Every structure is written in structure tokens, then in C-alpha cells.
């Protein structure tokens, strides 16, 4: 069975993560209901005529994938796999709006064609003229994890050597209005949020796009080795510790072997209980959190994976991510635990390359 390495990582997020100095300039975001990404100058990467026809998620993904491939030195990957929770929601909303405004008559198909979830992976493939395996996973908060698992299996089975894997989600005005109505997003009176000790329901919603090149061979610039992934849709609160312990046993590890644990604290008082239970197991590990930097959204784990890659490579932890004060002389193993609203729990184990 081949090892699988993360040979590049690129991220467009609420933070200035395309900047080389982003690691030292992370700014917590706890006072807005909705967080917007810092968008790059798309004209540097995409012809102006095409930009007008692209939704934000397609534009973000085109640029992030460009960065990831360039860093890995890969022109054409053996596969393109993208995970998304909401897909191209901007174009979905535009299509539905046209349906209503035109009484279901005289509709142009453009917005419908561009609203499908696999538009992102398709547009990347068109831009690269890549005819290889192309797949999109739509599994809410574990969409990236399923994408990485697919890529890992293909590399393990010698079906591919370098695979572009990404995750992306955008915001739309109407969806954000609905999320506020159903209390997914925090009420204004409950801001600012104390992510680690929140007593109110709801989250601060974000967006972003993260892309990685997973490869069979380790390079001089490899970030991490992708050791294992575990996903479960439903988990009772009292099963949290067993879920994690069983995963570690499967990988011949104990909690003491985990140098850093990245938890997805979102500020939602109910669902964050899972993370509090998990943290009890890792008293000797550096405990970190990240959604105060990225916001909560379906593929927020792309941001945590991106940060974990840089932590392993730099052997340094940003102070703004720390929950406790534990410091290990070497950061070899990082465990990432994430879910969305108490559903779709995932564990990702990364090892220093």
C-alpha cells in the first residue's frame, strides 16, 4: 500500500491565506453574523470574458486550484476530485428567481446548467484540458474528507500518482436570510461570540475554497502524509471518546502520540459539546481551534486541513489557534475532528512528511 502525501496546499478564505505572511497575521472574527472571503484579483488568472459567467465558488476554486497545482509542479493531474456542501448556490438562486419572475416560461438554461454541484470540477478540468477521472462529493461537512478518501484509495491502488483534491462553498443572500430565520446563524444580540464558552445557539457563517495535490511520492516541499480518515454520519454524545479511541487504535496510536488536536468549535452551545468531550482525551496534546478564523460552513475543514499542513511544515503553532498551553518539542501527528451541527463527524490523521 502506497503512502499518500500532501504536496501542496492553497486556500482562499476569510483570512489573507494567499499571502506568504498569512501565518503571522491571522485575525479572529467574532462580531459579524456572516463572513466574506478576501477575494484575489481574478483577472490575473481568468480571462475577463469568462469571469462574468462564473459564480464566486467557481472563481475561488479556479484560483485556489491554480495555486495548488503550481506549487506541486503539476500541469495535469491524474484526477480532479472536489467536495462541496452547497455547490454553485448563486446560480441556483438566479435560476429559481427566473422561474418565479417569468412564471416558468421563456427561461434561459444558462443558470440551470451552471448551478449543478459538479460545475466546479468541470470548469477546472476544462481550463486544464484534463480528461482524467472527475468527481464531485456532496456530503455536507464531510465532503472534503470523502474526496480525500477517494484520492487516497486511488493512490493506494496505483490507479493514480497525483490527484487534485479540493473543497469549496460560497454564500448567497437568500440562503443567509433563511439560515438566520432557522437560527443556524447566531442572532445579532448574541454577538460577539466566545467560541470556546458559548451559551447560545447558532454560528457565524463563512465561506472559502481549499485545494491540495495528493501524491504518491514525497517531495522536498511535502507538507504532510495523509495517514487515515474516518467518517460517521450520526454519533451520540457519549460515543465521542470511543469513536476517537477506536480510530487511534486502528492506526496503532494512543492519545499521547497526538501532538496537536484541531477541534471545530463553532460557538454553537449544543453541538460544541462533542468537541468538549473529545478534548478530555488530549490533556497532553496542543489543543487548537479554527472556526473563529474561518467561520462555519459545509467545507470549513478545508481551512483546518490547510492550517494543519502549514503547522506540520513550519513546526510552529499560531498563538491565536491555541486552546491550552501545551507545547511539544516536535509536532509529528495532528488529528483533526470536525462536524456540522452534530452530524457528519470526521477524523483526519496527518503525519509530518
Tell me the average pLDDT across 28-39.
Answer: 96
Q: What is the pLDDT of residue 103?
A: 82
Q: What is the pLDDT of residue 96?
A: 80
92 pLDDT band, cuts 50/70/90, is: confident
105 pLDDT band, cuts 50/70/90, is: confident
Residue whose grid cell is 460517521: 232
In tens, the pLDDT along 181-236 reads 999 999 999 999 999 999 999 999 999 999 999 999 999 999 999 999 999 999 99
| Residues 124/97, Cβ–Cβ less than 8 Å | no
| Residues 58/120, Cβ–Cβ less than 8 Å | yes
Tell me the average pLDDT across 250-265.
Answer: 98
CA separation for the pair 57, 42 (Å, rounded)? 12
Q: What is the pLDDT of residue 67?
A: 97
Instruction: Indicate if the alpha-carbon torsion angle 87, 88, 89, 93 is positive or negative.
Output: negative
- Measured at the alpha carbon of residue 105, what is the angle toward residues 103 and 107, in degrees to the nearest 5? 115
Tell me the average pLDDT across 130-135.
Answer: 97
54 pLDDT band, cuts 50/70/90, is: confident
Q: Which has more confidence, 107 or 69?
A: 69
State the cell numbers at 346. Answer: 470526521
CATH fold of 225-352 reads Peroxisomal Thiolase; Chain A, domain 1 (3.40.47)
Indicate the Cα dihedral angle 307, 310, 311, 314, nearest 10°.
-160
Tell me the average pLDDT across 124-133.
Answer: 95
5-215 and 225-352, same CATH topology: yes
Q: What is the pLDDT of residue 90?
A: 77
Can you give the residue ranges of every domain in the chain? 5-215, 225-352
The verdict on domain 5-215 having CATH code 3.40.47.10 is yes
Closest CA to 348 of 227, 237, 260, 249: 227
DSSP-assigned states of every residue in 149-212:
HHHHHHHHTTS-SEEEEEEEE---HHHHHHHHHTTSBPPGGGPSP-TTS--S--B-B--EEEEE
pLDDT mean across residues, the chain = 94
Q: Is 241 exposed, middle or buried (0-12, 13-18, 19+ CB in 10 A)?
A: middle
CA separation for the pair 324, 22 (Å, rounded)? 22
Q: What is the pLDDT of residue 94?
A: 78
Residue whose grid cell is 487511534: 248
In tens, the pLDDT along 148-183 reads 999 999 999 999 999 999 999 999 999 999 999 999
**What predicted TM-score, i.e. pTM, was given to this entire model?**
0.95
**Minimum mean pLDDT range among 72-81, 115-124, 275-284, 325-334:** 115-124
Q: What percent of the chain has pLDDT over 70?
A: 100
Taking 90 as the threshold, does the pLDDT of residue 314 lie above it? yes
C-alpha distances (whole Å) from 143 to each of 98, 138, 343 are 29, 5, 12
Amino acid at each position: 500500500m502506497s503512502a499518500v502525501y500532501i504536496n501542496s496546499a492553497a486556500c482562499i478564505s476569510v483570512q489573507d491565506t494567499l499571502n506568504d505572511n498569512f501565518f503571522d497575521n491571522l485575525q479572529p472574527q467574532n462580531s459579524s453574523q456572516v463572513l466574506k472571503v478576501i477575494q484575489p484579483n481574478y483577472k490575473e488568472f481568468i480571462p475577463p470574458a469568462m469571469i462574468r459567467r462564473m459564480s464566486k465558488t467557481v472563481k475561488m476554486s479556479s484560483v485556489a486550484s491554480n495555486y495548488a497545482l503550481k506549487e506541486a509542479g503539476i500541469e495535469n493531474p491524474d484526477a480532479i476530485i472536489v467536495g462541496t456542501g452547497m455547490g454553485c448556490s448563486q446560480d441556483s438562486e438566479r435560476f429559481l428567481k427566473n422561474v418565479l419572475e417569468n412564471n416558468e416560461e421563456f427561461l434561459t438554461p444558462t443558470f440551470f446548467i451552471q448551478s449543478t454541484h459538479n460545475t466546479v470540477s468541470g470548469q477546472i478540468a476544462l481550463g486544464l484540458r484534463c480528461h482524467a477521472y472527475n468527481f464531485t462529493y456532496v456530503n455536507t461537512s464531510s465532503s472534503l474528507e470523502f474526496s480525500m478518501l477517494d484520492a487516497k484509495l486511488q493512490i493506494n491502488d496505483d490507479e493514480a500518482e497525483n490527484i487534485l483534491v479540493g473543497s469549496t462553498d460560497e454564500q448567497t443572500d437568500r440562503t443567509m436570510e433563511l439560515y438566520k430565520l432557522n437560527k443556524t446563524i447566531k442572532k445579532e444580540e448574541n454577538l460577539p461570540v466566545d467560541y470556546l464558552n458559548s451559551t447560545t445557539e447558532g454560528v457565524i457563517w463563512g465561506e472559502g475554497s481549499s485545494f491540495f495535490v495528493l501524491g504518491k511520492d514525497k517531495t522536498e516541499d511535502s507538507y504532510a502524509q495523509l495517514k487515515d480518515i474516518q467518517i460517521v454520519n450520526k454519533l451520540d454524545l457519549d460515543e465521542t471518546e470511543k469513536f476517537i479511541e477506536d480510530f487511534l487504535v486502528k492506526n496503532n496510536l494512543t492519545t499521547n502520540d497526538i501532538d496537536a488536536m484541531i477541534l471545530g468549535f463553532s460557538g454553537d452551545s449544543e453541538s460544541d459539546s462533542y468537541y468538549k468531550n473529545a478534548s478530555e482525551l488530549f490533556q497532553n496534546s496542543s489543543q487548537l481551534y479554527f472556526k473563529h478564523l474561518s467561520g462555519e460552513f459545509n467545507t470549513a475543514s478545508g481551512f483546518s486541513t490547510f492550517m494543519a499542513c502549514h503547522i506540520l511544515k513550519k513546526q510552529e503553532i499560531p498563538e491565536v489557534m491555541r486552546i491550552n498551553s501545551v507545547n511539544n518539542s516536535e509536532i509529528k501527528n495532528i488529528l483533526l475532528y470536525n462536524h456540522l451541527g452534530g452530524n457528519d463527524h470526521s477524523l483526519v490523521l496527518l503525519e509530518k512528511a
